[in-house]
Amino acid sequence: MAIIEAGNGIVTHINMFTTTPERQQALVDSLAETVRAASEVPGWISASIHRSFDGRQVVNYVQFESHDAAQRVTRHLLAGGYIQRNTQLGTVTPGQYEVVHTLSNTDN
């Protein structure tokens, strides 16, 4: 389960893919296989895959214990060809983030 809290040191990696409606499900399936492989690497915490209703976007939200863990997972996925396969199905804009603020109904 994703942990979304400010100040906990967790590294969040968000991949925003642009694809075609015809390829969206294939990309979702490929990302699901990718996160299963990533979950085998120590320091990986969670992943959530989101798809847009118009079929043109897929977002992968991944959490790691640290930057080192994120790098280990990336090396593992590159070595297995997962990242290469995903980028054949869509154009990706990746980024690593830290949570700096949250608000939810339970905070009131």
Taking the model in full, what pTM does it have? Answer: 0.90
Beta-carbon contacts of 35 under 8 Å, excluding residues fewer than 6 positions away, are 47, 49, 60, 62
- Among 80, 67, 60, which residue's Cα sits nearest to residue 2? 60
Q: What is the pLDDT of residue 107?
A: 66
The residue that leads in pLDDT, 1 or 40, is 40
What average pLDDT does the segment 90-94 reach? 96
Please tell me the least confidently modeled range out of 45-49, 77-81, 104-108. 104-108
**Residue 39: pLDDT band with limits 50, 70, 90:** very high
Burial (CB count <10 Å: 0-12, 13-18, 19+), residue 57: middle
pLDDT beyond 80 at 108: no
Q: What is the pLDDT of residue 4?
A: 85
Widest CA span in the chain: 46
